[in-house]
Chains A and B, each alone.
Chain A
């Protein structure tokens, strides 16, 4: 059964007083845990736990023809599946609108930040380029799948290795890897999704809070070491957002990025070293 209106009202009242059900501050994240290299056969993989929310991401590489307007660049495809095992609200079948939206937000954040140097993924211009497949699967939904998916995708990309390419057969050798990492630049995006409930703006909602959310804004940000840039944005749900709130959200996102980016990247890198 879905979260009832009574509970939603209570959440809203409680938040107007500046408090949350689990005692966190409005802009606090739950405990974050990143584990990389969980799959042997994937080029890169990661599991992200955000409280009870759990997401798994995997990277596979293929070789295909480039798009005619970007002949010298590799391609990237992001898919996300909301598995029925992760929540009673998800069903089997082709991805529905929610899944497509999350996948697109993740995809856009990575693409627009310039995290991947697509020009280096070209094998032969106009004929053959590398394609990166990012597959994301939800294991457990306790709210904020969006941020968790984005994190899992970048963690998997950061730890991925290029596969071996058999030039005679013109095929990728399955399960054989080189030691080279993917052409990753410094601009690694982090996605923050802000939810508006009543008068409050919160981060990292749990499922019941997400159900009470009136509107949400996702912001993907990256930094080249000097300044923090907004790479992509998406607004969801019905309610409107005022310009003042929007500016506030962008400021908050920048602050949040500066606060948490170091921690997150350190956790991914530490994990990578531990695996070697």
Chain B
């Protein structure tokens, strides 16, 4: 069990790194990645007789004997310990039903709320439509259990929410959080990235938030480029030094048209 956890952590660290160790190959579900007993199937890979086949569309990654797939598309699959952002869908007598954009129903029980709750009126604590940062306690057959106890968890006030492809979350966070810290610093915003691809941004000005959103979208668009942190740094500095709004762009275009 411990070994399993360790590998998971190692994989996570690896996923969040910037430079790939070996050239990764693009695979589609059902594709044979390797043949022989020398290899072991990792995440989203399966052994079928002698072959290791892919279960998802993504990049095949070989590290030693282990072969795993880093998915490029598809929905978010929750895992124990993930911090995600979700919306309160409904209130029951003992907790909140939430939407965390996963394929299973998720539930936040009353005792996992971070503050005192009046049992007669749960909506005082979290109301329908509120956005919460929560942690996945476990994924069971009947659904996902969540908790709102912990650092930086609970109701999100103010700010705005954007949604990106959950498979690109490791890229947005970067190696040991290098990318997200860079964006936070440059945009003066408070940012929480949920593993499900939902991101909360709060800054003092709306312009700052929009700038942070732009930066995150830049990273997701260019997620396949190597040495992305440096590129993003350059881009951020460039955009910051000459803040060119879309509006100004449009004015330029109009002028060009008139000149013609």
Which A residues are closer than 8 A to B by beta carbons? Answer: 1-7, 10, 13-14, 19, 21-25
| Contact between A5 and B129, CB atoms less than 8 A apart | yes
Cα of A10 to Cα of B205 in the assembled complex, Å: 10
Inter-subunit contact B159/A6 (CB<8 Å): yes
Q: Indicate if the CB atoms of A1 and B99 lie closer than 8 Å.
A: yes
Digit string of B203-215 for contact with A (CB within 8 Å is 1, else 0)?
Answer: 0001001100000
Contacts A1-B99, A1-B101, A1-B198; A10 near B160 (Cβ below 8 A):
yes
Cβ-based interface call for B48 (8 A):
no
CA distance A13 to B158 in the complex (A): 11
Q: How far is the CB of A211 from chain B (nearest CB, A)?
A: 12
Chain B residue nearest in CB terms to A25: B247
A10 and B246 contact, Cβ closer than 8 Å, known pairs A1-B163, A4-B131: no
| Complex contacts, B209 vs chain A, CB 8 Å | 10
The reply on B139 being an interface residue by CB < 8 A is no
Q: Which residues of B contact A10 (CB under 8 A)?
A: 159-160, 206, 209
Beyond A1-B101, A23-B245, is A13–B206 a contact (Cβ under 8 Å)?
A: yes
The answer to whether B246 and A22 have CB atoms under 8 Å apart is yes
Residues of B within 8 A of A19 (CB): 206
The chain B residues found within 8 Å of chain A, CB to CB, are: 87, 99, 101, 129-131, 156, 158-163, 198, 200, 206, 209-210, 245-248, 250
Given A1-B87, A4-B87, A24 contacting B99 (CB threshold 8 A): no
Total inter-chain residue pairs, C-beta < 8 Å = 43
Offer 19 A-B interface pairs, CB within 8 angstroms, sorted by A: A1-B87, A1-B99, A1-B101, A1-B198, A4-B87, A4-B129, A5-B130, A6-B156, A6-B158, A6-B159, A6-B160, A7-B160, A10-B159, A10-B160, A13-B206, A21-B210, A23-B245, A24-B250, A25-B247
Q: In the complex, which residue of chain B has the Cβ closest to the Cβ of A5?
A: B129
Q: Are B161 and A4 interface neighbours, CB within 8 A?
A: yes
- Of chain B, the residue at the smallest CB distance from A4 is B161
Closest 6 CB pairs of A and B: A23-B246, A23-B247, A4-B161, A7-B160, A10-B160, A23-B245
Q: How far is the CA of A2 from the CA of B88 in the complex (A)?
A: 12
Interchain CB contact under 8 A, A14 and B206:
yes
| CB-nearest residue of chain A to B198 | A1
Docked CA distance A22–B248 (Å) = 11
In the bound complex, do residue A24 and residue B246 qualify as a contact, i.e. CB atoms below 8 Å apart?
yes
Q: Which residues of B contact A4 (CB under 8 A)?
A: 87, 129, 131, 160-161
Chain B residue nearest to A19 in the complex (CB): B206
Q: Which residue of B lies closest to A2 (CB)?
A: B87
13 extra interface residue pairs, beta carbon distance < 8 Å, beyond A1-B99, A2-B87, A6-B161: A1-B163, A1-B198, A3-B161, A4-B131, A6-B156, A6-B160, A7-B161, A10-B160, A14-B206, A21-B210, A23-B245, A23-B248, A25-B247
Q: Which residues of A have CB within 8 Å of B158?
A: 6
Contacts of B198 in A (CB 8 A): 1
CA distance A256 to B16 in the complex (A): 50
Q: Do residues B131 and A5 form an inter-chain contact, with CB atoms below 8 A?
A: yes
Across-interface contacts of B159 in A (CB, < 8 A): 6, 10
Q: How far is the CA of A14 from the CA of B198 in the complex (A)?
A: 21
Give the chain A neighbours of B162 by CB distance below 8 A: 7
Residue of B nearest to A13 (CB): B206
Listed residue (B156, B160, B198) with the most chain A CB atoms within 10 angstroms of its CB: B160
- Nearest-neighbour CB distance to chain B for A113, whole angstroms, equals 30
Most chain B CB inside 10 Å of its own CB: which residue of A3, A7, A19, A25 = A7
- Which residues from chain A contact B163 at a C-beta distance below 8 Å? 1
Contacts of A25 in B (CB 8 A): 247
* B210 / chain A contacts, CB cutoff of 8 Å: 21
Minimal beta-carbon separation of A43 from chain B (angstroms)? 34
Cα A23 to Cα B210 with chains together (Å): 10
Q: How far is the CB of A162 from chain B (nearest CB, A)?
A: 37
Nearest Cβ in chain A — how far from B236, in angstroms? 19
Within the assembled complex, what's the spacing in Å between the Cα atoms of A21 and B214?
A: 11
Taking CB atoms, residues of chain B closer than 8 Å to A1 are: 87, 99, 101, 163, 198
